[in-house]
Structures are given as structure tokens and as C-alpha cells.
Amino acid sequence: MPELRKDPIIGRWVIIATERAKRPQEFKVSHNSQSPSQDCPFCSGHEEYTPAEISAIREKGAKPNGSGWQVRTVPSIVPLLYSSGELEKRPHGIYDMMNGVGVHEVIVESPRHIASLDELEPSEISQVLEMYRQRILDLEKDIKFKYVLIFKNHGARSGATGSEHSRSQLIALPACPKSVKGELDGAKRYFDYKDRCVYCDMISQEIGDKKRLILDQDGFVAIAPFASRFPFETWILPKNHSADFSKNSDDELYSLAKIFKEVLHKIKITLSDPPYNYMLHIAPYRRPKPGYWSTIDQDYHWHIEIIPRLTQVAGFEWGTGFYINPTPPEEAAKFLREAKDG
Amino acid sequence: MPELRKDPIIGRWVIIATERAKRPQEFKVSHNSQSPSQDCPFCSGHEEYTPAEISAIREKGAKPNGSGWQVRTVPSIVPLLYSSGELEKRPHGIYDMMNGVGVHEVIVESPRHIASLDELEPSEISQVLEMYRQRILDLEKDIKFKYVLIFKNHGARSGATGSEHSRSQLIALPACPKSVKGELDGAKRYFDYKDRCVYCDMISQEIGDKKRLILDQDGFVAIAPFASRFPFETWILPKNHSADFSKNSDDELYSLAKIFKEVLHKIKITLSDPPYNYMLHIAPYRRPKPGYWSTIDQDYHWHIEIIPRLTQVAGFEWGTGFYINPTPPEEAAKFLREAKDG
């Protein structure tokens, strides 16, 4: 069972993946050979290569764990967290730890062996987003979980391993992650002071300024954030205030699919298909507590953060949390705005 | 002039290095060819290749900017911050920014073209540490600065570029970095509750437990922290409580040099000379303010954090600040404890 350990100073949680236990000689630089499509466990027709599916969007009449699906969610075969067992929070002297209980799922985005989400049609991407929504709503029913993180590692330098078949990952956690808490606290502080959502203010300033605006269409904006940590960092936000991704209608998800495809494609052609990560930043689950009224609905605003992995993070960043970005977001936004095929 | 921009939600500062402005085509993966020693700007005899020195430890009678030195501090030729100019804190709509005023220095650790600090004798490493102490004390005189970060990037994957000549970097900042603040706040919270320093408690538990202890000698310990973020992460701490590195005596620095050399050497032979970063975690400068008494002296404890760069940080970590470490610190400590030459 993996262990969750909490740093006693910062309060940061670490997953000690005890069952992967790496010995020194296993850290030789791997060349990340990616498996060809005939061996790919995520392609249509290879359903038996993965554990039994958790959920799928499939044609009427098509049977579970067979072909005929568009988007398919399966358990990770190298899970970081285990879905069975109790949390068992316990001390170890001055330290805190608990069992690594959680969920680690893989969302396969297409039955075809495509390498990148932007190769899909908006209607197909929309189904991927519908699967995100469905999984978030489904996992909310388990009160063990405080947070669901959905993310993607694209390309070897992003941390992706194995098949290049385009997929997302989902992790449900028994504790709200530190950086999410930082975001929630910051947004709440702003709201307490201004009585306005900081993300809404940001969107309205960016639409006015135009310099960091990449796209503005169908109720969504894509921007290069003012304090971008990384070159070509891009956020996609809904213009209407909402804390919860899971409250999006099908129509809203289709509009999001269109802008998401366009942004990913612009990043691909501008930076020659760079490795990247994206993460869905959403509010944690709110469980009603007597006498407590959460303000997250009004002060938090869900969004997607896309981070191309172009620079090495060095000692300075690790030491300080002070990032160095060699590309001003105004220039990144201009390149992405003007990016065109051919 | 580089700009410092503050994220309006998290409060994280980013240096937008406007004068390095990177265009998309400049992000092709570089092969980090390292310059041979005959071209190395940091070797003895090549003093004219660098800007005029800021400080040096040299033989009696040896002239500044000539040979005859042991440790030499020079301005960075690609500074992230500029030492001239005013901070000019200003808003930009809802955002905050200031000029990138600060200091960026390079501390050359030996006149010889060595690649790694552990190749030096303890007496030589001690001089490097004396230079750290001297620079910290010297920069304290400029009230513009709130924090000094001293760090090292070793090996290309650590973010190091150019010559492999062993050197450290120093950055003096006009704002206390977010992650330093997180550490200070956490340590203060613990002290407020327990009336004890969290680092002192950690040291005493680690000496008792022994499982995560790597070395315990001459007033210093090296440990694999309980909630290690990275495989083989190693901290070196003084056993006697002290917030300030700059208060170390020459004797203490010599003892630190010995354990530091041994730890770096153990990491080198255990992991085949891996890339790594290390950072000196020290208290910020305390500037007396009327009616305010800082508690940092009692609740903070300086230390060195060494991070071998063995794993890729992926979307999950970026999204949550929740790290995944495949090597339990107990196993890392055992390998390092038992590491022997030959």
C-alpha cells in the first residue's frame, strides 16, 4: 500500500510509492521507447489488455469491455493510490501519515491510435469532456474523497510513459492538495476584500487589454496569464462565473472542446509539438457541515492550465517558488494568436 | 530591465526576463555542449573573461582580478536581476509588478577546472562556505534586499549551462519568496503550538529512529526527510539550533564542509554522478521595525536541501503540489549510509 506522508513544516503531502521502490541503478536515463500501435493497450480491439472498464461512452448496443466505444475509462495498471483499504490516519512521532487510499484512472480519449487530443474533432473532444464531468460527479458520491485532479502528460519530457495513445489521467484524493488550497485561499482573500471573483476580474482586464488574449469565443477565453511561470503557459476560462466544471451543460462542453482544440493546435504548430501538461483546476467537493457555509461557489472559478515543458526547472525555482520565465506572456500570446497552419 | 510580476491569486512572484525574450524557434532541445577548460571563463588565469570580481579569497599579496585566488565571486554575465535602478512597485490593473532589481552573482569554487564540489578538500569547501557567509553578511547592508538565495545546479538536467566548472549562484531579492514564506510560517505555527523548533524535533526523532539518518558527525546531521519529495532527497542540518547560516564560526563551517563533501560523494557513487540541485535555506534578513519583534530566531533553523534530479516532474505534481516519490526515504538513507568507494 502506498503511503501518504505530510511534511511537518510546509504541510505538503507526498505519495511514497512503496511498491514501486526504486533502487539506485533503476534511475538510468530511460529512452522512453513508446510502444507501437499493434501492442497498444488503449486501441479499439485491445480491450482485454486493460483491467475491466469503469465507464465508457459507446454505441447503443455495444457491450462493455468490447469495441464500439468513443471514450473509455479504465483503472491505471500502475496505480499511485489504491482504491481498497482504509485511510488509517496515524502519527509517526512528530510526523503524520495515512494509507495511500484513492483512485487512479486512465481516460482513453479515442479508440484510434492518435497521439494528441487536438487531432480529434470538437464533437469527439466534447465526449472526452463529458467523461471528465461524469467521473467527477460519480466520485463525489464517495465521501472519502476531497478532491479530483484530471490532468494530461503529453510527450516524454512531460512525464508521459508507455504508449503514446492520447489519454488523460484522473486521481481522486482523500486530502485537498496544498497548491489547490493556496489557490482557494488566494481567491477567497480577494473576494473578501473586493466582493468580486479574482478570475472574473482577470478575464475582464484581459479582454480589455487584449495583449495577453489568445482567443475569445463562445463564452470562453484563452489567455497567457500576466504572471506566467512558464513560456507559452496558457489558461482557458469560462467567461461566466462557475466554480464547478461538473455543472457545464453539453452545449458548454462543446464550446469548450472547440477552443481547447484550437489552443492545443496553436501550441503544437507554434512550438513544433512540444511536450506539455494540462490540469483541470476545479473546486474541491463541498460536503455540507453543520454551521459552516462554504464560499467557494462565489469566490472560485474553474479553469484549465496548459504548461508547455520547454525549460528546465533549476535550483532557483525549487528553492524559492520564484519562477523565471524567459518569454513575456504578451509575446507568447501574440505568437499563439497569429499561429496558422501551413 | 527584467520585471517581477505577482500572481494575483497565489501571490507567487515570477521573473519575466524580458531581455532574454525567447521566440518559439529558440526552444529546440539544446544538447548542452559544455565548454572545454581552455575556454572556461572560471579557471585561474582567465580572470579577464568575467566582469570585475566582487570578492575573492586569495593569497596574501595577490592582486584582485588576477590569479592566486581560492574562491572568487563575480557578477553573472546573464543576470536574472539588475543591480541598478529602483524597485518602482506599481499596479497594472488588478496586477502587481516591480522592476527586476536585485543581485545575481556566481561563486567560483576553485581555481582548478573541477566539475563537482566533492572533488575539493574539506579545507577548500570550507572556504566556499566562508564566501557564502561573507556575501550574505555583505548584502544585508543593502536594505533593498529581503532575502538571499544561494544554490547550485550540477549537471545539465539540473538546469546548469555553459562550462562544467564547479560553481554556486547567489541571488538577492527585494521580496521574500513564497516557498520560503511557507517554510517560515509552518515553523512559526509549530513553535506557537509546541514551544519548540520543528527542525530540532525532527533532528531528535531522526537520531532516535536511525532509519532515515545518513550521517551524524561534528554537530551536523544528514537525513532523508520523512516526507521526501524526490528520490534520495537529502537535508543537512546543524544539531544546534540556529536560524542564520551567517552566524557559523570558521570551525563550524569546517565541520559542515566535511559532512557536505561526504554526502555529495555518497550521492555521486550511489547514483553514478546524477544531476542535482542544492539550496541553502536560511532566514530572511530581519530589519528592525518599531513595535514588531520577529520570532524567526527561535522558530526557524537553517539547513541545506540537496535534490538529485532523477525523476520527471509531471502534470500531477504541477497541478497539486502533491509529489510522488518512488523511493522510500528509509531505503534511500540505507543506500547512502552504506555507500563506499571501490
Report the CATH number at residue A14.
Answer: 3.30.428.10
Q: What distance in Å separates residue B235's CA from the closest CA in chain A?
A: 13
* Contact map slice: B 245-304 vs A, CB within 8 A: 270-272, 274, 277-279, 281
Asked whether residue A3 carries a pLDDT value surpassing 80, the answer given is yes
Domain assignment present for A31: no
Q: What is the pTM of this model?
A: 0.91
Asked if A18 is an interface residue toward chain B (Cβ–Cβ < 8 A), one would say yes
What pLDDT is stored for residue A206 in this prediction? Answer: 97
Largest CA distance in chain B: 62
Domain assignment present for A119: yes
Residues with Cβ within 8 Å of residue B130, at least 6 apart in sequence = B57, B71, B250, B253
B315 vs A169: CB contact, 8 Å cut-off?
yes
Residues of chain B with pLDDT under 50: 30-32
Q: Which amino acid is at A138?
A: D
Cβ burial B241-269 (10 Å sphere, 16+ → b, else e): bbbbbbebeeebbbbbbbbbbbbbbbbbe
Question: Edge-to-edge strand order for the sheet containing A69-75?
Answer: A55-58, A69-75, A103-108, A167-173, A147-154, A276-281, A303-308, A234-238, A220-223, A213-217
Asked if A85 is an interface residue toward chain B (Cβ–Cβ < 8 A), one would say no
Nearest in space to B331 (alpha carbons), one of A3, A81, A102, A97: A3
What pLDDT is stored for residue A31 in this prediction? Answer: 47
Domain assignment present for B258: yes
Which three cell numbers mark A148? 479530483
Domain assignment present for A98: yes
Distance CA B186, CA B299 (A): 9
Which three cell numbers mark B71? 574562491
* Lowest-confidence region among A44-48, A178-182, B266-270: A178-182
What pLDDT is stored for residue B215 in this prediction? Answer: 98
Q: What is the mean pLDDT of residues A115-120?
A: 95
Residues A280 and A132 sit within 8 Å (Cβ to Cβ):
yes
Cβ burial B201-212 (10 Å sphere, 16+ → b, else e): bbbebbeeeebb
Domain assignment present for B230: yes
Domain assignment present for A85: yes
Comparing alpha-carbon positions, the chain B residue that sits nearest to A5 is: B227
For chain A, the domain total comes to 1
What pLDDT is stored for residue B292 in this prediction? Answer: 77
* Contact map slice: A 195-254 vs B, CB within 8 A: 198-199, 201-202, 205, 209, 225-229, 231-232
Average model confidence (pLDDT) for chain A? 90
What pLDDT is stored for residue A103 in this prediction? Answer: 93
Distance CA A304, CA A278 (A): 7
Query: Mutating which of B94, B202, B229 best tests the A interface, going by the most A Cβ atoms within 10 A?
Result: B94
Q: What values do phi and psi take at A149, rounded to 5?
A: -110, 130
Angle of CA points B54, B58, B59, to nearest 5° = 155
B319 vs A5: CB contact, 8 Å cut-off?
no
Domain assignment present for B188: yes
Domain that holds residue A165: 3-19+36-338
Nearest in space to B128 (alpha carbons), one of B103, B95, B106: B106
* ipTM higher than the 0.90 cut: no
What pLDDT is stored for residue B104 in this prediction? Answer: 94
Q: Give the CA count within 13 Å in the CB-facing half-sphere of A168.
A: 24
B94 vs A198: CB contact, 8 Å cut-off?
yes
Domain assignment present for B7: no
Name which of B8, B179, B325 is nearest A198 (Cβ-Cβ): B8
Largest CA distance in chain A: 62
Asked whether residue A320 carries a pLDDT value surpassing 70, the answer given is no
Show residues of chain A in contact with B274, CB under 8 Å: 27
Which residues partner with A13 through β-bridges?
A: A6
Q: What distance in Å separates residue B161's CA from the closest CA in chain A?
A: 11
Nearest in space to B266 (alpha carbons), one of B334, B337, B217: B337
